[in-house]
Structure formats: C-alpha cells, structure tokens
Structure 1
Amino acid sequence: MTITRRQLLTTTPVLLSACSAPPRTPPAPPAGLAAGEQRPWQLEDERFWIWLPREYGQRIEAWPLLVFLHGSGERGTDLEKVKVHGPPKLVAQGSAYPCVLVSPQLEDGARWDPERLHRLLGALKARLNIDPRRCVGTGLSMGGFGMWQWACAYPHDLAAIAPVCGFGDPAKVAAMRNVPVRAYHGDQDSVVPLAPHIACVEALRAAGGTASLTVYPGVGHDSWTPAYQDPELLPWLLSQRQT
C-alpha cells in the first residue's frame, strides 16, 4: 500500500496539471494586416508587401515564409513597383499562395544586403506565426544576386532558394552547401550572362550541395516570366525544411 500511495501522490499532480492546461488558440494577424490580402507593412525600417494565407489565424500550426527580392528597376519609394513581376504580381492577380509572402523594396541606388535581410527575417519570425525551419527565398536579376549572397552569408536563415537570372560567387557557395537551389536563366540573356550562373551551380554541387538550373532556349533577360509560371517551383520551395 505504501508503494501504491506514493505512486498516486507523484502522478496525480501531473495529471491535474495536464487537464487544467488552457486550449491553444491560433495567432491572429498583426494589426493592419488581414488574412487573404496583400498589404503594405513595415518592420526594422524595411517597407514591403505582405500576403497572409486565407487560413492565417484559423490554425495553430506555423506557416512557411517566402521572401521575394525584386530587380534593380523596382527600387524607389513607390511600393506598387514591387508588384510588377514575380510572386507579388501573381498574388495581386488572384493567386492564393499557401504561405506568408514578403516582398521588400530597396531605396534608389541600393543593393540587397545580407545583413539587412537577416534582420528583417528575425523581425518577421518575432511578429508572425512562421515556421523557422521553412523560410525560403526567390529573387530575379539583382534579386537573384541577393538570394545567392544572403544564403552564402547566413546559410541557416533559408531552407532553400530559387534565384532567377542572377548568380553568386562560386568561391563562397560552399558555405551554403546545405541550402538547396532551384535556379533559372535564359540562354540569350545579354544583361546577366548565363555562364556565371552555371559556374555557381556547378561549384555548389562540387561542394556537396544540391542545385538545379533550368535554362530557357531563346529567352533573354526575362526568364522570370516562365520561371514563376513553373508549376513545380512553389511546391518545391514549400516542401523544403531545414533539418
């Protein structure tokens, strides 16, 4: 009886504690944002568009995050320019992305800085219901450069990247060997040559990384139009998880 009584005394409080735990409720969208809408927002002095999935606020599970980096022509103070290409354009046209989509804007003359992007990512994780293991990125032209540079500088920030008509430094990509890459380029691109992108992908593979490069025959700099119409791109990005 003594043993049984001690067992009851040690287990009963645990059972009572478990039964009295309050039910969890899904996090609501931050003030100024709404589920199923793409709206302007600002964090860490960064201005951007943000899309929250229609079910945001209805489930407890954290959402994947997709960060889109625009090209040089979309810099400035008019945030509408960010929606002329890529994922923010598709969302504005009615696509319902099953993830949080953040599309920041650079000021005139600026280039994508890995340190700024790292700080922005930290702020987004702190304010939103985001799965830190499922943060991925894509970007076109100057934004493609930005994605390669970000992944090299902070390889633990992103679970995968999809750079379009941009490239990084082949000498530095070994640092991001655990970040899978799905890249795109046109073979007639006279603005950002194809050869350096091939070199970057090959260097990442040689370092033990995973990378693919889709080359569009006869396509110039605008490889982003077919790239973002690739039906396999978004599912691939959102299936990636950091281990």
Structure 2
Amino acid sequence: MRWPQVFFWTLSAGVFLLMQSCAAQSHLVEGELQTVTKEQLQYYLYYPENYFSSDTERFGLLLFLHGGGESGLPFEEVKKYNPPKLLQEGKQFPFLVLAPHNPHEKKWWNIQAVMQLLDSVTAENRVDKNRIYLTGLSRGGSAAWQLATQYPNRFAAMAVVCGMAPLPYAHWIDQKMPIWVFHGDEDDNINVEESDAMVEKLKEMNYDVRYTRYKGVGHNAWDRAYTTDSLYTWFAEQKRIN
C-alpha cells in the first residue's frame, strides 16, 4: 500500500449572470458579471501494490465520499472509517482509491469540485476511464446519487450506503451502470424509505440494481457494507459500456 502525502485541490468556477436595466428605462442594457468561487479539497490517493511495477498498465479507480460525521473535522478523520480505514489496516485493493474531504461541517459536497478533482487525478495517473467506480455513505451517499444523475456517462458502477435519493431524477442515471444500495431498516437519520423507493423505481425501469436492507441496523449501515468483501470484487468486475 502507498498513501502519498496530503494533496490539495482548488476549484475556480465562473458563473455568468445576465444584467439588464430597470423597467422604467426605455432601452435594454446587457452585460455579464463573473463571480468566482473557490473550493479547496484535501484528499488521499491510494495506489495498488503493482501500480509501480509497470509503466503501461491502466487501473480502475474507486471514488469514495465520506459522510457528515467527518465533514468539517480535521482531514485525518477521513482515514478512520470505511475504505480508508481498511487500507490503514492493510487491506489491498486492485484499483486506486480516491478519498477527498468535505471541509464544511454543514454543507453538501461540492460535486463540481469533486468532478474536477477526479478529472485531474485521472489525467495524471494511469487510470482506465472505463473503470471508474463511485461510492458514498450518508451525506456522501446523497452526493453519489447526485453525481450519477448529473454525470451519467462517467462511472462504471456505484454503491450507495444510507443516502438520501433523488427519486424524481432516477431516469437520469445511466441504465447501463450497475448499482448496489445498502441501508438499515432502523435508520433514524435518513429513513430507509429513501432507498426503498429509489430501488423500486430503478427496478421498474429495468436498471441493474442490488439492494441490501439490513434488519435491525440504524444509520451506521456502513460498518457492514464496507466490510463486505464481495462489494469490492463486484466493483472490480465492472467495466463501463459506452
């Protein structure tokens, strides 16, 4: 396993607004106002052991988005849970793992910044663009659903753990992308009905979706989901069909 040092990524995005004169004037004035927003993301990037033994082989990449519990806390908290924790304990993955940090305690993930980070890491490493996988839990699970709806042509497979689901936009998700959903039926933070309804809708539309609904489990469904070895085997078997 190789964990590089902490990396930083800053997003600068321009937003253009159309300006016009007051209604009392008899002519129209048009212009553009550019507003620049910046987002700094720290992240960990894991490389498989055999990554550096070849100069040509390309690898898959798993993008992991943590939940609200780590948001706004010191960056090192990311390594204490879920896939990053497994890596710290010595687990080997056959693909790269990209684990950014949401620096805001009470803000959603900035998915535009996440995608620009993903694009940069993909371009600078030997990543197979047809084997980019997506997963997230709780607030990160909600962000994973967002990414799947707004960037439907990017991911080879997705696993969502106890995340709020954008049911009205289910049809925006690429029907060729396999999905695995995990949720506990005693979740008091994000009701299991979020996943129930989303999975039912996806199945009605003939999506390839699996559902693991844990009986007697609360919001911490991630403890079981991310220690399910078959999840990572399943990821590694997926390749995007263009």
TM-score, length basis structure 1: 0.82
**DSSP 3-state at the match of 1:55:** helix
Cα 1:85–1:118 shift into 2, 3 Å = same
Secondary structure of 1:162 counterpart: strand
Unaligned ranges ≥5, structure 1: 1-35
Residue 159 of structure 1: how far off its partner (Å): 0.8
* DSSP 3-state at the match of 2:113: helix
Letter in 2 for 1:114: I
Q: 2:133 aligned with 1:128, yes or no?
A: no
C-alpha distance in structure 1 between counterparts of 2:131 and 2:82, whole Å: 20
1:208: how far off? 2.7
Runs of 4+ in 1 over 6 A off after TM superposition: none
Percent identity among equivalent residues? Answer: 32
The answer on 1:41 being equivalent to 2:2 is no
- Contact 2:41–2:103 at 8 Å: present in 1 too? no
CA shift, 1:95, in A, is 0.8
Alpha-carbon deviation of 1:111?
A: 1.1
- 2:45 maps to 50
* Correspondent of 1:66 among 38, 62, 67: 62
Specify which of 200, 217, 220 is matched with residue 219 of structure 1. Answer: 217
Counterpart residue number, 1:5: none
Shift of 1:77: 5.5
Which is helix-richer, 1 or 2?
Answer: 1
1:179/1:167 Cα in 2 relative to 1: closer, same or farther (>3 Å)? farther
Superposed counterparts of 1:148-159, under 5 Å: 148-159=145-156
- Among residues 177, 181, 184, which one is paired with 1:183 in the alignment? 181
- Rg (Cα) greater in structure: 1
Partner Cα distance (1:81, 1:188) in 2: 26
Aligned equivalents of 1:77 and 1:128: distance in 2? Answer: 28
- Count of residue correspondences: 208
CA root-mean-square deviation? 1.3
Of Structure 1 and Structure 2, the greater strand share is in 2
C-alpha deviation, 1:47, in angstroms: 1.0
Aligned to 1:104: 100
8 Å CA contact 1:114–1:154 kept in 2: the answer is no
TM-score (norm: length of structure 2): 0.82
2:234 matched to 1:236? Answer: yes
